[in-house]
Amino acid sequence: MQAASPQTAPPKAGTPLLEVQDLHTSFIVGEGQTVRAVDGVSFVVNAGETLAIVGESGSGKSVTSLSIMRLLPKKIGKISKGTIRLRGRDLVPISDREMRNVRGNDIGMIFQEPMTSLNPVHTIGQQIAEVVIQHQKVSKSEGMKRAIEMLEVVGIPEPARRAAQYPHEMSGGMRQRAMIAMALSCEPSVLIADEPTTALDVTIQAQILDLMRNLQERLGMAIVFITHDLGVVAEMAQRVVVMYAGQVVETGTVEEIFTRPLMPYTSGLMQSIPRMGAEEKTRLQAIPGYVPLLTKLPSGCRFRTRCAYAEERCATSEPPLEQLENGRSVRCIRWKELDLPTRASA
């Protein structure tokens, strides 16, 4: 694997790389109605750090990632407010052409299902080489050489032979490795991984996570890991952003979130984690109901209709995201008086 060029040299650990501030993303639905799928989201990711964004389907995790990548559907989706700074440069106002240069080169992305992201009529090698050629301005032969190198880096055996194969000729784990190879082919400073192991079996999932950790250590990347699996969060991340119905509802270190959740929603997610060695009578606690439709959000706290701790006052006004002294934050008016469980109870 070639060394990074001076301008893309691995940044010093702890250096802020990606800073999202007050991000609002809106979509047009139905007959001209506008809904806010991402509502005031803010976070910072440092070099060498993994930040996990967690929440159920419909919480706004993937829309946040697509907003950062500027991959929203043009006619119905847009960033209506906020900044997305990469190494201090705001990506929101730049042109589509400039953003194409940022994607792949400075920010890489791994999607949940590679079969929907890889082109079925081009070989794996051609698709990786295309990214390298576009961003590194090298010849086709150099691009293919780099593609084969990257397939070897991500642990694919016989990389030259595999580079000549089409996506359907590979297993799910191989395709996901190929997607990682493509995302990292230009050694980006930030990697966004959107549910990268959800469709894989446990053994392959462990291999993919190990691979991502090793490459992060080697390149000094910041990783934004989007998932609903808190078991993966415990293994991969240092800090956590919990989202619900488009909003951040809690942030903290992995240790803080797992040992003392402050928001009832976070506690509910924690109680749904299966645990090895648990007694037979122990049951997983499901959160009742579903994430509300963005067109029919409840008044006040958006989680209150599913919350076992909700009171009348929870319906009167939307709680702010309260910033705490220790760097944590929480969106709940009752957090000081609650002692929330962290595991499934009998």
Buried b (16+ CB within 10 A) or exposed e, 297-312: bbebbbbbbbbebbee
Q: Say which residue, 213 or 265, is predicted with more confidence.
A: 265
CATH topology of domain 16-237: Rossmann fold (3.40.50)
pLDDT of residue 279: 53
Q: How many residues does the chain have?
A: 346
Separation CA 49–CA 220 (nearest Å): 8
- Per-residue pLDDT at 2 exceeds 60: no
Contact assessment for residue 20 and residue 42, using Cβ atoms and an 8 Å cutoff:
yes
Percent pLDDT > 90 in the chain is 64
Q: Which of 116-120, 165-169, 289-293 has the lowest mean pLDDT?
A: 116-120
- Band of residue 160 on the pLDDT scale cut at 50, 70, 90: very high
**Mean pLDDT for all residues in the chain:** 89
**pLDDT tens-digit series, residues 174-229:** 898 898 889 888 889 999 999 887 767 888 788 888 888 888 988 889 999 999 88
- pLDDT of res. 325: 85
Give CA–CA dist 92/183, Å, rounded. Answer: 21
Per-residue confidence (pLDDT) for residue 230, from 0 to 100: 87
Helix axes 172-184, 140-153, angle to 10 degrees: 120
Q: Which of 274-283, 308-317, 330-339 has the lowest mean pLDDT?
A: 274-283
Pair 141, 129: CB distance under 8 Å? no
d(CA 37, CA 85): 20
What pLDDT does residue 292 have? 94
Query: If you average pLDDT over residues 21-44, what whole number do you get?
Result: 93
pLDDT band at 11 (very low <50, low <70, confident <90, very high): low
Q: What is the pTM of this model?
A: 0.89
Position of tokens 């081009």? 122
Q: 230-242: per-residue pLDDT in tens?
A: 888 999 999 999 9
Residue 277 is which amino acid? Answer: G
CA distance linking residue 44 with residue 21, whole number of Å: 8
Average pLDDT of the residues in 313-333 = 94
What are the residue ranges spanned by the domains of the chain?
16-237, 243-337
Instruction: Give the distance from CA 235 to its chain's centroid.
Output: 15
- Burial call 37-48: b when 16+ CB within 10 Å, e when fewer: bbbbbbbebbbb
Average pLDDT score over residue span 274-292 = 71
> Roughly how many angstroms between the first and final C-alpha of the chain, as a whole number?
51
Between 296 and 11, the more confident residue is: 296
What average pLDDT does this structure show over 143-154? Answer: 92
